[in-house]
Amino acid sequence: MNQFKKILIPTDGSEYTKAAITQGLELAHLMGAEVTALYVVDQTSFVNFPMDSTVVSIYTLLEREGRKAVEEVVKEGEKLGVKVDAVVEEGSPVKKIVDAAKTHDLIVMGTLGRTGISKLLLGSVAERVVRFAPCPVLVVRAKIGE
């Protein structure tokens, strides 16, 4: 098995990523790896909107949510003795995750659970990351409602 020294854990702060965070941190603990928790403020959602105060407020809210999400990973990492760097970036989630993966040995991410027409129109972030990532990707299915 490869020795993973740097693990990237993208998070959106939702329940769908909790299982992936747990798996990623446990793997990091076992392998003595460092973790980067990454939240991407998805700017692609705002491309067609004028930058008025409403959009700025939503953007600020998403940025705050992102900081909270990555800090949660830091706290969980501390419980296991795993060093976690918290990173919040803005842009396209797939592009930012793939770019960040260039300096990591493994990505551990959750599925957002989109189905049907939503998945068809938007595509799956996890699916596109698997396709374009320069390193192995472990996709962890969320255990919502079990």
Identify whether 65 is part of a domain.
yes
And the tokens for 15? 């329940």
Q: Which domain holds residue 87?
A: 6-140
Helices (H), the chain: 18-31, 53-80, 93-101, 116-122, 125-132
pLDDT-derived band at 55, boundaries 50, 70, 90:
low
Q: Give me the number of domains the chain comprises.
A: 1
Q: What is the pTM of this model?
A: 0.86
Q: Is residue 138 within 8 Å of residue 131, measured between CB atoms?
A: no
Identify whether 45 is part of a domain.
yes
Identify whether 115 is part of a domain.
yes
In the chain, the amino acid numbered 31 is M
Identify whether 146 is part of a domain.
no
Identify whether 76 is part of a domain.
yes
CATH code (residue 16): 3.40.50.12370
In percent, how much of the chain has pLDDT > 70? 79
**How far apart are the C-alpha atoms of 35 and 114, rounded to whole Å?**
26
**How far apart are the C-alpha atoms of 80 and 44, rounded to whole Å?**
35
Nearest to 133 by CA among 89, 112, 103: 103
Identify whether 39 is part of a domain.
yes
Q: How many helices (H) and strands (E) does the chain have?
A: 5, 5
Identify whether 20 is part of a domain.
yes
pLDDT-derived band at 118, boundaries 50, 70, 90:
very low
Identify whether 13 is part of a domain.
yes
